[in-house]
Amino acid sequence: MSDFACEGCGKELHQGDLAHHCADGVALCEACAPTFQDMLDEMPEQAEADYEVTAGVQAWIAEHLSAGGALTDKAVRAIPTVSEEDLARIRAAMEDAEDAPAPLETQH
């Protein structure tokens, strides 16, 4: 059974596989994942959307380069291994979030 599927090609992704996880929850297999250069190129528009995500991406790129990596490398990390119990809780929380009613808009 697959833990996730690549949003780019549909490939099944499992714990321990190399994948790219976007801030919006999208998972991409190594073949579909952006390079670190791709992430840098998207940085200006990302900065406007979410400063914390941008800071995290900058730190990841700096860490990768300082370890001898290149900007042309795929920006992937291993999918963490979690227990079946924790995985079931995560899936249930994701389903609950999908079923939750949309928040009411506040009036000013």
User: Domain segments of the chain: what residues?
Assistant: 1-33+76-97, 34-74
pLDDT in tens, 45-104: 666 666 677 788 889 999 999 999 999 999 999 988 777 787 788 778 878 776 666 655
What pLDDT does 7 receive? Answer: 93
Taking the C-alpha atoms of residue 39 and residue 44, their distance in angstroms, rounded to an integer, is 10
- For the whole model, what pTM was predicted? 0.67
In this prediction, residue 103 carries a pLDDT of 58
Cβ–Cβ under 8 Å, residues 29 and 6 = yes
CA 69 to chain CA mean position, Å: 19
Q: Which two tokens mark 23?
A: 């801030």
